[in-house]
Amino acid sequence: MAVIKKTLKIDSSSDFQIINITNDIVTILNDINKEKNISVGIVNIFTKHSTSAICVNENEKGLLNDFEKVLKDIVKENDNYEHDFIDNNAASHIRAFLLGSSETVPIVDGRLDLGTWQSIFFVELDGPRRGRTIDLTFMGE
Ligand code: ZN
């Protein structure tokens, strides 16, 4: 079995941003499969930042706007958060708590085995930031 670690760097351009990283991961998987061939396995996609998240869902513009609205309704921007006294970004952290820091996607026949309407997103919750780091761990054979 092969275990292959890769890193993806993402720049965000606004405070809240949903960035589709599916094609970046497909490109990396295709590069891996030129040599080491992971035909069947998984890839874990893990953000290294506690004010960002990784999510799988549908890449539909209206839905992404709805998702932003609901997340901001659930977690208000300023609500006397204790963390705001030391870092002023508590809402970003709390939104990240709710969404989670990783997703695992199956690989079948050397390809990401996503559903027809599924994409993989990096969710920026405290941008804009340069060089957000996403760890990719491919495992399979
Ligand atoms: Zn903080």
How many whole angstroms from 126 Cα to the centroid of ligand 1?
9
Q: How far apart are CA 75 and CA 94, in angstroms?
A: 7
How many whole angstroms from 94 Cα to the centroid of ligand 1?
10
Distances (CA, A) of 15 to 7, 40, 69, 133, 135: 23, 37, 14, 17, 22
How many whole angstroms from 55 Cα to the centroid of ligand 1?
21
Given this model, what pLDDT does residue 115 score?
Answer: 98
Q: How far apart are CA 139 and CA 141, in angstroms?
A: 7
How many whole angstroms from 84 Cα to the centroid of ligand 1?
8
Given this model, what pLDDT does residue 36 score?
Answer: 76
Selection from 103, 97, 104 nearest residue 125 by Cα: 97
How many whole angstroms from 108 Cα to the centroid of ligand 1?
38
Strand 132-140 and strand 119-124: the pairing is unpaired
Q: How far apart are CA 97 and CA 93, in angstroms?
A: 6
- The answer to whether the pTM exceeds 0.85 is yes
pLDDT in 10s for each residue of the chain, 141 residues: 999 999 999 999 999 999 999 999 999 999 999 987 899 999 999 999 999 999 999 999 999 999 999 999 999 999 999 999 999 999 999 999 999 999 999 999 999 999 999 999 999 999 999 999 999 999 999
- Ligand 1 (ion): which residues have CB within 5 A? 87, 89
